[in-house]
Chains A and B, each alone.
Chain A
Amino acid sequence: MKISSIALNTFREAIRDRILYSILAFALFLIGASAIVASLSIGQEGRIVKDLGLASCSLFGTFIAIFLGIGLVFKEIERRTIYTIIAKPIHRFQFLLGKYIGLVLTLLVTVGVMALLVAGLAWATEGHWTSGLLGAAALDFLALMIVTAVALLFSTFSTPTLSAIFTLAIFVIGCLSGDLKLFADQFAEPGLRLIINGMYMILPDLSRFQTGAQIVNAMPVAPLEIAWTVMYGLAYILMLLLLAIGIFQRRDFK
């Protein structure tokens, strides 16, 4: 009850922020523009709409996740809104989980609108639904949930600027970590391989969630692999949230 109240309040506060609408409008405009770009190609219209559309969803989704996530707790402390909330009979973990769920809800709505526009444009271009397109967007959404949890973790102890830098760095490394591991396994010397594998274990592997290319090119996607990816994503989010709660639980609000 209390977590859902905080989540809904966070969602309501975020959804009324005009900056979010500006980002969303820009993203929708770009997705719409992809249809114009696609019309310049011959025979590849549908593929370009889906490729550019899914990439826009991912890019702007990440942008919103980082932009809102880094301020999630810091802003509450800086503006002292947290004083009135923590003084009420709620556990600190309830506050943190509520904030996280509220932001994920906000992301769900914004990315959902973008993904529906992409699917609609693809349908208008090709004349039929592309199976798995929304599924690919959903899997990518799970990656956004990880980015949000990373941003939330940094937000519990760092300033927005540093949190943004750290989160962005982890996002970029996370997108490349699959390739890095492949490189380490094939070429690197044993010591370096150990370091890269160690990093791979700690940092999120966001490349696992990028199935857009397979869907767009109508390549087969193994259901078991998807299931593992979903479980990996959920476990990673859980770990990040537990870490964030551990830090937040002992924090003084000076």
Chain B
Amino acid sequence: MEPVIKIEGLCKDFRVGFWRRRTRVLHSLDLTVHRGEVFGYLGPNGAGKTTTLKLLTGLILPTAGTVRLLGLDLTQVAAKGQIGFLPENPYFYDYLTGREFLDFCGQLFGLRASDRRERVGRLLRLTELEEAADRQLRKYSKGMVQRLGLAQALVNDPSLVILDEPMSGLDPLGRKTMRDIILKLKTEGRTIFFSSHILPDVEVLCDRVGILVAGRLRDVGRLDQILKTELESIELTLQRVSPDLSATLLGLAQAPILDQPDGVLIRLPDEQRLDLALRAAVAAGARVVSVMPQHVTLEAHFLREVQGAAL
């Protein structure tokens, strides 16, 4: 597949403190994002996510390494012509109306007046801002500003959409609207690269994720593979469990046995122990109600990666 984002050896140093000491916030990042992918860029606060996104959009300049977007070097202004960017907690010009701002953004892409009118109208409908289109932006709510931010990121009909924390600060309804729009963009074949803290949304939206910890990329992979390959436990539910069987199962389980309305629940660490437990259960005349493999959630995987890095 054709790479839409190709990052090689990307480093960024900032000078901090009174003595302007050089601190590296991004360490030799290598990352490729393919056409049509939704890529989730995860990491705790201060990991370097926003720094990466700012490097991708030319807001800050790399200390070392290269970034190629859609085959073009980032230093070429034309590379930005096919990108849409929504910054974290966006803020726009107070005294412009939503329509004027989108029109202004269209002008920066060199779009003709007739194209701008058509696109601005379409984007206002998509982001449900038609009614507020002629209101000044200082009167917009946070959710409306966020949606307008997404609209301005789409004004050039981009192939690559970069979103920095698009769900941040939104209420559940706002999050759903944002999620629906991102899914719609995905079905239109656009590549989406976004950072987020809200892991359930990432699980719903992303094809692949990358986990960044302290400026280093810890893990990259397909979400289904990351989560399927990691079996957290297997939950076995049985009925008619005798005291002897209960003692045997306790030896195999990774946690105390729980009494539940539909039977007893035994949490087993792996398939070998499941085999042993099932054999013992059948031999003791117990009834098997269910066997449920429990895969690792993205949140658990994320926490493990972050804590692993801290150790």
A250 to B87, CA, bound (A): 20
Residues on B with C-beta less than 8 A from A17 are 95
> Are A84 and B152 in contact, CB atoms less than 8 angstroms apart?
yes
The distance from the CB of B84 to the nearest CB of chain A, in whole angstroms, is 8
Residues on A with C-beta less than 8 A from B153 are 84
> Are A91 and B107 in contact, CB atoms less than 8 angstroms apart?
no
Residues on B with C-beta less than 8 A from A9 are 93, 96, 104
> Are A87 and B91 in contact, CB atoms less than 8 angstroms apart?
no
Residues 49-89 of A contacting B (Cβ, < 8 Å): 79-89
Q: How many residues of B contact A (CB 8 A)?
A: 36
The distance from the CB of B65 to the nearest CB of chain A, in whole angstroms, is 15
> Are A79 and B91 in contact, CB atoms less than 8 angstroms apart?
yes
A90 within 8 A of B: yes
A254 to B55, CA, bound (A): 10
Q: Which of A16, A83, A89 contacts B80 (CB 8 A)?
A: A89
Question: Which residues of A approach B to under 8 Å, CB–CB?
Answer: 1-2, 5-6, 9, 12-13, 16-17, 79-91, 250, 252-254
> Are B90 and A84 in contact, CB atoms less than 8 angstroms apart?
yes
A1 to B95, CA, bound (A): 22
Residues on A with C-beta less than 8 A from B156 are 88
The distance from the CB of A44 to the nearest CB of chain B, in whole angstroms, is 43
Residues on A with C-beta less than 8 A from B93 are 9, 13, 81
Question: Which residues of B approach A to under 8 Å, CB–CB?
Answer: 14, 54, 57-61, 77-81, 83, 85, 87, 89-96, 100, 104-105, 107-110, 136, 149, 152-153, 156, 162
> Are B59 and A253 in contact, CB atoms less than 8 angstroms apart?
yes
Residues on A with C-beta less than 8 A from B107 are 1-2, 5
- Kindly count the residue-residue contacts between A and B in the assembled complex, taking CB atoms under 8 Å apart: 84
Supposing A1-B110, A9-B96, A253-B54 touch, asked if A89 and B90 sit within 8 A by C-beta, the answer is no
The distance from the CB of B99 to the nearest CB of chain A, in whole angstroms, is 13
> Are A83 and B77 in contact, CB atoms less than 8 angstroms apart?
no
> Are B100 and A88 in contact, CB atoms less than 8 angstroms apart?
no
> Are A80 and B90 in contact, CB atoms less than 8 angstroms apart?
yes
Residues on B with C-beta less than 8 A from A83 are 54, 57, 59, 85, 87, 90
- Nearest to B93 among chain A residues (CB) is A13
- Nearest to A1 among chain B residues (CB) is B110
> Are A81 and B81 in contact, CB atoms less than 8 angstroms apart?
no
Q: Which of A2, A84, A85 contacts B110 (CB 8 A)?
A: A2
> Are B60 and A80 in contact, CB atoms less than 8 angstroms apart?
no
Residues on A with C-beta less than 8 A from B96 are 9, 12-13
The distance from the CB of B36 to the nearest CB of chain A, in whole angstroms, is 22
Residues on A with C-beta less than 8 A from B14 are 252, 254
Supposing A12-B96, A12-B100 touch, asked if A86 and B91 sit within 8 A by C-beta, the answer is no
A79 to B107, CA, bound (A): 21
Residues on B with C-beta less than 8 A from A254 are 14, 54, 60
